[in-house]
Amino acid sequence: MRIRNDDMIIRNAEKDDCNQLAAWWNDGNVMAHAGFPLGLNTTAQEIQNQIAKDTDETKRTLIIEYRGQSIGEMNYYNMGHRVAEIGIKICDASFQEKGLGRIVLSMLIHELFIQGYTKIILDTNKNNTRAQHVYEKLGFCRVRIHENSWKNQLGELQSSIDYELTPDDFIDFSKER
């Protein structure tokens, strides 16, 4: 996959991205919202092995580039029945809270709907209100809240919110920049 919108690109992760992905995934500040405040403790080689198995039909790890710089990562999983589950992290904190997440999410969602998916799902930590605001602006609907349903690496109870989006509800911001 390669999607371009002016100075933003979403592309498949490659071997050359594995060191950067390992740095992000091992950073507890980047990974805390996903339940890993101590990071994933993974290696570039483990990530390389993982992305080597990615296919358009199953799942993809994607890199977000802005003005030629890698600033984050996304992924999607084919859940079957024309449903895709997605995730996003703007990993470089200097690019957060600038509206870039909303735009790259729009780009990916638009492409997935073009490819024939009829529903996009995701979940987020209930404490991640910034992400919830973005998802709801794009048209995602809350499906359910799972109170105290899992524990993070520190053993702290966490709650999550499930969201879903259909083409009819999608508000596309990909042309906004």
The string of pLDDT tens digits covering residues 79-104 is 999 999 999 999 999 999 999 999 99
Q: CATH code at 68?
A: 3.40.630.30
The tens digit of pLDDT for each residue in 137-155 reads: 999 999 999 999 999 999 9
Does some domain include residue 7? yes
pLDDT at 9 over 80: yes
Residue-number span of the structural domain to which 44 is assigned: 2-121
The whole-angstrom separation of Cα 159 and Cα 149 is 6
pTM of the predicted model over 0.85 = yes
Does some domain include residue 143? no
The tens digit of pLDDT for each residue in 104-142 reads: 999 999 999 999 999 999 999 999 999 999 999 999 999
pLDDT tier, 176 (very low <50, low <70, confident <90, very high otherwise): low
Number of domains making up the chain: 1
Does some domain include residue 51? yes
pLDDT tier, 165 (very low <50, low <70, confident <90, very high otherwise): very high
Q: What backbone phi and psi angles, to 5 degrees, belong to 150?
A: -155, 165
Average pLDDT over residues 35-44: 96
Does some domain include residue 62? yes
pLDDT at 67: 96
Q: Please, are residues 75 and 60 in contact by the beta-carbon 8 Å criterion?
A: yes
Angle, vertex CA 29, rays to CA 23 and CA 33, nearest 5: 110
